[in-house]
A = this chain, B = another copy of it.
């Protein structure tokens, strides 16, 4: 059932893959078209400009990522479990897809992005810090400032870990960072 082809989604899939591999400025609308097996003009029918594609990819990515985390309230009272669960989401992105976090790439390119695309990456970070802070804030036991501090360290470490791991072509580097995070939980 439903083998109806959704060109719009296929465009986003192809663009996301290329952005996470090489960055926003390393792919062209023609590359996307070739990957989807249509012509560049057809891509522009679905997304008038390239930055529309970039912003749509980032928006979808953020939605999916936050959704995959589930309810942050489920971890209240167990900060280690929250961090381990959160790290799993990054590991999946790195290992299953073999690619970086989209927003690690966009964040690194910030100064060279169309404003809407840069803004979409910023929103990813904001929403992730919100989720993590909520998950780590053990109902007053820890306190919001400490939870935010810990959340920022966790997010920064994992984004950096993906970059190191990819650059060095060594997944063990990612795992070392996760282990380090869990062994030093800011207790």
Which chain A residues have a beta carbon within 8 Å of chain B's beta carbons? 21-23, 25-27, 99-100, 103-113, 118, 121-122, 125-126, 148-150, 152-153, 155-161, 163-164, 166-169, 173, 176-177, 179-181, 183-186
Contacts and interface: CB of A to CB of B under 8 A. Distances in A.
A82 to B, nearest CB: 15
Given A156-B157, A161-B156, A180-B152, A122 B168 contact: yes
Given A26-B25, A156-B177, A108 B110 contact: no
The 9 closest A-B pairs by CB, nearest first: A22-B112, A160-B160, A156-B160, A26-B112, A153-B180, A108-B108, A21-B111, A159-B160, A25-B25
A150 B180 contact: yes
Contacts of A27: 112
A167 to B, nearest CB: 4
A20 to B, nearest CB: 8
Given A23-B25, A23-B108, A108-B105, A125 B168 contact: yes
Nearest to A19: B112
Contacts of A112: 21-23, 26-27
Contacts of A181: 153
A173 B152 contact: yes
Contact of A184 (B23, B99, B177, B184): B184
A166 B122 CA distance: 9
Contacts of A23: 23, 25, 108-109, 112
A22 B159 contact: no
A177 B163 contact: no
8 contacts: A21-B112, A22-B112, A99-B111, A104-B108, A109-B109, A149-B183, A153-B157, A157-B160
Given A152-B176, A157-B157, 10 more contacts: A21-B112, A23-B112, A26-B109, A104-B163, A109-B109, A150-B180, A156-B156, A156-B163, A156-B164, A159-B163
